[in-house]
């Protein structure tokens, strides 16, 4: 079962640097996507919504600063500039345009990984107010895309993760079938309620003590689903949730 990885977009025409990034970035944590032009980078940010972009300033069709400015018109996607330009003007211009960080080439492996993880963590906090989502014994690490139940790592497919994250983000709220399908699968799938039932069933098998009598994700008949807000009770009580009134 595949773990959901952070998607990193590398916008750099230099093939040597791309190969270096392929080698030094942790393949268990990141999925890499390459492109060599500014326009393509912007298009991929719109269509694929990567978790972070590693951006060169020296692109063949437009300056990296222009790419940053274009993305910042509609997205807070983390942007780290990787550049051989070490002058203060390039650094200041990039940060003022909206870049989250600036790393000089050649880069140190450990430093780059630390900068990437810091940017992903900041983005998660910016989006939800915290780097993880917690509901009773259930916890999601938003940076590493991992799900834990009573501190035990539970394997989730990428789509299951996205669905559970949506429930966790909106815990306590009644969510309609169409609302969930649109948010997780997109506009083209708003009527695929049977598809949603299958995935909810798969998630219940992983997080409910008795999936046939769920206490975490509740069905609202004819409407949708609601994730109950819960608090942790002592472990000796077998990990059951004490539901809030």
68 inside domain: yes
40 inside domain: yes
Same domain membership, residue 66 and residue 163: no
Same domain membership, residue 114 and residue 80: yes
> What confidence score (pLDDT) does residue 202 get?
95
Query: Cβ(102)–Cβ(38) under 8 Å?
Result: no
Q: How many domains does the chain have?
A: 2
- When pLDDT is averaged across residues 135-145 and rounded to a whole number, the result is 88
Same domain membership, residue 164 and residue 111: no
1 inside domain: no
Give residue 190's domain range.
132-243
- Among the three residues 128, 148, 177, which one is the final residue of a domain in this structure? 128
Instruction: Give pLDDT tens digits for 207-239.
Output: 999 999 999 999 988 889 999 988 655 444 444
Instruction: Give pLDDT tens digits for 9-42.
Output: 999 998 888 888 888 887 777 899 999 999 999 9
Q: For the chain, how big is the Rg over CA atoms in Å?
A: 21
Query: Cβ(154)–Cβ(148) under 8 Å?
Result: yes
Query: Cβ(84)–Cβ(104) under 8 Å?
Result: yes
- Among the three residues 108, 128, 148, which one is the final residue of a domain in this structure? 128
Same domain membership, residue 143 and residue 81: no
Tokens encoding 136: 């009773």
Same domain membership, residue 11 and residue 124: yes
Higher pLDDT, 186 or 199: 199
> What confidence score (pLDDT) does residue 40 get?
94
234 inside domain: yes
Give 122's pLDDT tier (boundaries 50, 70, 90): confident
Mean pLDDT (the chain) is 86
Same domain membership, residue 12 and residue 117: yes
Same domain membership, residue 227 and residue 176: yes
Give 1's pLDDT tier (boundaries 50, 70, 90): low
Same domain membership, residue 180 and residue 88: no
pLDDT at 105 over 90: no
Task: Tell me 229's DSSP state.
Answer: P
State the CATH number of the domain containing residue 16: 3.40.50.2300
Higher pLDDT, 143 or 202: 202
Tokens encoding 51: 């978790």
Instruction: Give pLDDT tens digits for 44-81.
Output: 998 888 999 999 999 999 999 999 998 987 888 899 99
33 inside domain: yes
Query: Cβ(149)–Cβ(207) under 8 Å?
Result: yes
Lowest-confidence range among 147-161, 188-202, 229-243?
229-243
Same domain membership, residue 197 and residue 171: yes
Same domain membership, residue 185 and residue 101: no
- Among the three residues 103, 128, 153, which one is the final residue of a domain in this structure? 128
- Give bridge partners of residue 8 from the DSSP assignment: 32, 52
163 inside domain: yes
> What confidence score (pLDDT) does residue 234 get?
47
State the CATH number of the domain containing residue 164: 1.10.10.10
Give 240's pLDDT tier (boundaries 50, 70, 90): very low
Same domain membership, residue 170 and residue 112: no
Same domain membership, residue 175 and residue 89: no
């Amino acid at each position: 079962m595949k773990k959901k990885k952070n998607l990193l977009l590398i916008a750099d025409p230099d093939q040597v640097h791309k190969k270096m990034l392929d080698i030094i970035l942790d393949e268990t944590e990141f999925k890499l996507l390459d492109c060599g032009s500014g326009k393509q980078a912007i298009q991929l940010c719109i269509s694929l919504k990567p978790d972070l972009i590693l951006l060169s300033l020296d692109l063949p069709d437009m300056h990296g600063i222009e790419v940053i400015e274009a993305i910042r018109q509609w997205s807070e996607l983390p942007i780290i500039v990787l550049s051989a330009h070490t002058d203060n003007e390039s650094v200041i211009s990039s940060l003022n345009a909206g870049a989250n960080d600036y790393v000089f080439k050649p880069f140190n492996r450990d430093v780059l990984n630390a900068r990437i993880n810091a940017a992903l963590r900041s983005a998660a906090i910016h989006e939800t107010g915290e780097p993880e989502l917690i509901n009773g014994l259930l916890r999601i690490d938003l940076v590493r895309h991992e799900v834990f139940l009573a501190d035990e790592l539970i394997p989730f497919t990428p789509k299951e993760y996205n669905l559970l994250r949506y429930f966790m983000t909106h815990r306590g709220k009644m969510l309609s079938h169409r609302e969930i399908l649109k948010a997780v699968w997109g506009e083209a799938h708003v009527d695929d309620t049977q598809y949603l039932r299958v995935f909810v069933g798969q998630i219940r098998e992983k997080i409910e003590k008795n999936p046939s009598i769920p206490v975490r994700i509740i069905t609202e008949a004819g409407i949708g689903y609601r994730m109950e807000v819960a608090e942790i009770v002592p472990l000796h009580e077998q990990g059951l949730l004490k539901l809030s009134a």
